[in-house]
Amino acid sequence: MESETIGKYKNCTKIATGGMGAVYLATHPELKRKVVIKKLILKSGGAAIRERFKREARILSELSSPYVVRMFDYFTEGRANYIVLEFVDGMSLDKLIEKQVSLPPELALLIFLDACLGLKNAHSKDIVHRDIKPGNILISKRAEVKLADFGIASDEKDEFEEPKKTVDSDKTVVSTKNSSITQAGSTLGTPAYMSPEQLMDSSSVDVRADIYSMGVMLYEMVTGSKPYAGDMAPETIAKIKKGKYIPPQKIVKNLPPVVKTLIRKMMKPEPEKRYKSLEPVIAKVRRYLKNYDTHAIRVSLAQSIISTKTIKFPLYIPKNYKAKRIALGACAVCAVALLFCEAWNSGMIHRTVLRNWFTPVSLSMLMPSTASVNADLPARAFFFVNDNDGIPEVPNTRRVFSVAKNSSKGKNLEYITKDVFLRPGEYRIKIAEGPYVWWKSIYVGKEKVIMNLDFLKNASRNITVHFSAMDCETGKDLTQSSLFRIQVGSKWVDASKVDFSKLKTGNVYKFLMIHEGYYDEYFSLLIDWYQDELFITGNMRKK
């Protein structure tokens, strides 16, 4: 497919087209990264559609969350309007559900939590999305979850809407009695996910309508089906108004109570009976997920996004599952059981009683000295049986690297794991640290295996910095009128003139935010070796 030039953007390849425009994949000239360009072109009239397009750009410019698709640019060229957006290389949630049919509750809640955090950012700015659905949740190949498509979102600045209709339950409805979405009688959203009040009149809905739609989306993720048909038939609307749907626990056995509770309350037909905000929803999900290895869950999510086929998700076992089982069965022999567990976990049993059957495997790895013991992305080791078939993971062998004593190795630190005890045979080892994954096939015999790894030695990445500034009292966005500077050597340099390809992780950088009439904001930050994207927001105080 031939590429073209749009404004300052080169290599623009059309990836989708419609009656009023097209979508392109292009390269940002300064950031040197792929972006998505949405083009709107109207032959004549269509002022309301153009205004809605501009409003989407304005709303996106006000949002600053890693869980929302970012907007990089908005411009006009000839009769066409353009929005330049972050490119999310992966798939939408509806495609993932279509491929997998349904998702494990823990995985569904992880996606749900990230979507809630993105939506919370919009709600904090009095923006109601009004079209929450799996098709508007994008998931990258690195398992990053992003909320997208604010085309029919509302805020206090809403003015226009262009009438159109659809009957597809997965397509957005924009059906109005007149040209203003702020007037009564309008219906906007996607039928299968709309709350009762949104079906009747979208002009006056608040954040509780989005909360309802999130409940519907959670229902679909865990069951693989929608609670209601999206045909807007009278009998369907009557069921939605009464809240009559098949409870998810009747479709999925052993559904966690937290999922049932969230769906039941979020999908209450009466808005006043739902959660008033996403705060308690987020708190409940976090409380549940803290019992699980969310890193492992996110890894399996990334695998499912990358794979072109349906995958079998692992069984996510709570961190304290085994401890509870032991506690319940060890009442009579508590002291003996505790001693045995300690001996087993420390490897004493394997080194003594089982020494003829198991061989210890020791791992050490050099990483940049800026890595923290309590890093956001701790390095982990996974062991698999190399059977040239299913490559199953060896139970109870996952390890987290920790700093070794006297570990300083110049610019690096030595990290080690507790010994893993394996029967002699063929194995594969996977080391995962942030965006880096390393595999190795090994043979374990009778002698102890000691592996010294240095593939992350002196590792560093280029840094991307995003600046924003706001009035600490009013919350007014001051970004466009502020100056942002970075200390390069002994000089302060305007951020727009800095060659970011020369800024590397693993160093301390100093940043300055300046705005006339406000006190300067100063930041001095140690950027860990893997933290390649930095967001800095200055809360500016008036002089």
Question: What confidence score (pLDDT) does residue 226 get?
Answer: 95
CA 99 distance to own-chain centroid: 19
CA 177 distance to own-chain centroid: 37
Residues 186, 292, single domain; the answer is yes
Which residue is it, tokens 């792929």? Answer: 34
Question: What confidence score (pLDDT) does residue 240 get?
Answer: 93
Residues of the chain short of pLDDT 50, as ranges, are 157, 159-167, 176-185, 373
Please list the alpha-helical segments (H only) found in 189-249: 196-200, 207-223, 234-242
Looking at the annotation, which residues are catalytic?
131
How many separate helices (H) and strands (E) can be counted in the chain?
12, 26
- Confirm whether 317 is domain-assigned: no
Residues 206, 273, single domain; the answer is yes
Domain that holds residue 26: 4-86
36 Cβ contact partners less than 8 Å away, ≥ 6 residues apart: 23, 24, 25, 26, 84, 85, 86, 87
Residues 370, 266, single domain; the answer is no
Residues 69, 163, single domain; the answer is no
Distance CA 343, CA 2 (A): 66
- Confirm whether 325 is domain-assigned: no
- Residues 475, 519 contacting (CB under 8 angstroms): no
**Residues facing 9 on adjacent strands:** 6
- Confirm whether 186 is domain-assigned: yes
- Confirm whether 11 is domain-assigned: yes
Residues 203, 184, single domain; the answer is yes
- Residues 327, 299 contacting (CB under 8 angstroms): no
Which residue is it, tokens 């019992």? Answer: 291
Question: What confidence score (pLDDT) does residue 185 get?
Answer: 44
What CATH code is carried by the domain that includes residue 60?
3.30.200.20
DSSP 8-state assignment for residue 128: B
Q: In this structure, which amino acid lies at residue 215? A: G
Token digits for 535?
């967001």
Where is the domain boundary, 59, 86, 113? 86
Residues 389, 479, single domain; the answer is no
Residues 103, 55, single domain; the answer is no
- Residues 321, 106 contacting (CB under 8 angstroms): no
Question: What confidence score (pLDDT) does residue 531 get?
Answer: 85
- Confirm whether 342 is domain-assigned: no
Token digits for 531?
């933290």
DSSP 8-state assignment for residue 203: G
321 Cβ contact partners less than 8 Å away, ≥ 6 residues apart: none
What CATH code is carried by the domain that includes residue 131?
1.10.510.10
- Confirm whether 301 is domain-assigned: yes
Which SS3 state, helix, strand or coil, does residue 344 take? helix
Residues 94-146 pLDDT 10s: 999 999 999 999 999 999 999 999 999 999 999 999 899 999 999 999 999 99
Question: What confidence score (pLDDT) does residue 160 get?
Answer: 40
Residues 80, 192, single domain; the answer is no
Question: What confidence score (pLDDT) does residue 187 get?
Answer: 55
- Confirm whether 195 is domain-assigned: yes
Where is the domain boundary, 37, 57, 86? 86
Taking CA atoms, 293 is separated from 33, 142, 402, in Å, by 32, 17, 17
Distance CA 134, CA 102 (A): 12
**Residues facing 428 on adjacent strands:** 384, 441
- Confirm whether 315 is domain-assigned: no
Residues 215, 115, single domain; the answer is yes
Where is the domain boundary, 39, 68, 86? 86
Q: Which long-range contacts (CB under 8 A, 24 or more apart) does 3-8 make?
A: 6/37, 6/39, 6/77, 6/82, 7/75, 7/77, 7/82
Backbone angles phi, psi at 225, to 5 degrees: -140, 160
Question: What confidence score (pLDDT) does residue 167 get?
Answer: 47
Q: What is the dihedral of CA 46, 51, 56, 62, to 10 degrees?
A: 170
Residues 14, 50, single domain; the answer is yes
DSSP 8-state assignment for residue 268: -
Total of domains in the chain? 4
Distance CA 199, CA 181 (A): 13
Question: What confidence score (pLDDT) does residue 412 get?
Answer: 82
Residues 443, 480, single domain; the answer is no
Residues 209, 246, single domain; the answer is yes
